């Protein structure tokens, strides 16, 4: 299997779940893809972004002169849907602090789009895609706590400015949905997508 992602969290989820994927990072300009998706439903946006990453990684794989490639490529994209707006990574402390001041004490949905692409004899013989949504309830933390969390830098590089499995875990009171999709890959969703392209996930276990 190939994981088309630079995300250490996604690689960690797959390894803990028995896979040892080869990593090929896509060089997709996510903002350019987002510009073509104005008005699209949020679930379609994250699936389209995962699809754009898949197209880039599959092209990289098929550019080799090996004509007997047989693999499965998994790509994902996660964004937070809060008050009807999709947001990705904050990138700056100020944006992370503002995000937390808005969402503390409230709920939001972490959406993860997935694309599975099956390659056999160096041709794409099947694709499947789906999104997963998990509702997150955030603790009503005070400004000093928001500032301390933002100052760690952790929330800057993750969709929605929080982690479930890191420092952010202190501030996630409850979730409703698949925990792995919050971290970056919805394992139950991917199991069904793999089945859609004829792959039994247990056959991929190390
Ligand atoms: N460890 C952890 N990471 C999280 C959590 N929620 C979101 N993330 C990370 C996973 C992804 O690396 C990132 C979501 O951003 P993207 O979907 O754009 O992926 P990223 O740009 O990191 O990598 P990629 O586009 O797949 O190469 O946020 C969480 O609860 N725990």
Ligand 1 atom 30 nearest Cα: 163
Q: Is the CB of 5 under 6 A from ligand 1?
A: yes
- Mean pLDDT of the 186-190 span: 98
**Cβ of 37: how many Cβ atoms within 10 Å?**
16
pLDDT in tens, 151-186: 999 999 999 999 999 999 999 999 999 999 999 999
Residue 159 Cβ contacting ligand 1 at under 6 Å? yes
- Over residues 73-80, the mean pLDDT reads 98
pLDDT digits (tens, 9 = 90+) for 26-73: 989 999 999 999 999 999 999 999 999 999 999 999 998 888 889 999
| Residue showing tokens 């969402």 | 103
Distance (angstroms) between ligand 1 centre and the Cα of 67 equals 32
ipTM of the complex: 0.96
pTM for the whole thing? 0.96
Residues 146, 161: Cα–Cα separation, whole Å: 11
Backbone angles phi, psi at 95, to 5 degrees: -70, -40
Compute the distance from residue 68 Cα to the ligand 1 centre, in Å.
32
Cα separation, 5 vs 15, in Å, equals 14
pLDDT at 68: 86
Q: Answer yes or no: 77 catalytic.
A: yes
Name, in order, each residue with C-beta under 8 angstroms of 170's C-beta and a sequence gap of 6 or more. Answer: 139
Q: Which domains does the chain have, with CATH numbers?
A: 2-204 (3.90.950.10)
Q: pLDDT class for 16, splitting at 50, 70, 90?
A: very high
């Amino acid at each position: 299997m190939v994981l088309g992602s630079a995300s250490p969290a996604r690689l960690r989820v797959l390894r803990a779940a028995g896979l040892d994927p080869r990593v090929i990072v896509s060089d997709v300009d996510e903002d350019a893809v987002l510009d073509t998706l104005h008005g699209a439903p949020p679930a379609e946006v994250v699936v389209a972004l995962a699809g754009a990453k898949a197209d880039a990684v599959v092209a990289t794989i098929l550019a080799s002169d090996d004509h007997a490639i047989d693999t499965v490529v998994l790509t994902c994209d996660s964004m937070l849907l809060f008050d009807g707006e999709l947001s990705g990574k904050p990138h700056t402390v100020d944006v992370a602090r503002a995000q937390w001041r808005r969402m503390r004490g409230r709920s939001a949905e972490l959406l993860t789009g997935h694309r599975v692409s099956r390659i056999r004899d160096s041709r794409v013989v099947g694709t499947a895609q789906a999104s997963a949504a998990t509702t997150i309830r955030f603790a009503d933390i005070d400004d000093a706590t928001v500032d301390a969390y933002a100052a760690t830098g952790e929330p800057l590089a993750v969709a929605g400015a929080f982690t479930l499995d890191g420092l952010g875990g202190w501030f996630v009171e409850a979730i409703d949905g698949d925990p792995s999709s919050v971290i970056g890959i919805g394992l139950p969703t991917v199991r069904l997508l793999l089945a859609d392209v004829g792959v039994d996930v247990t056959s991929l276990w190390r």
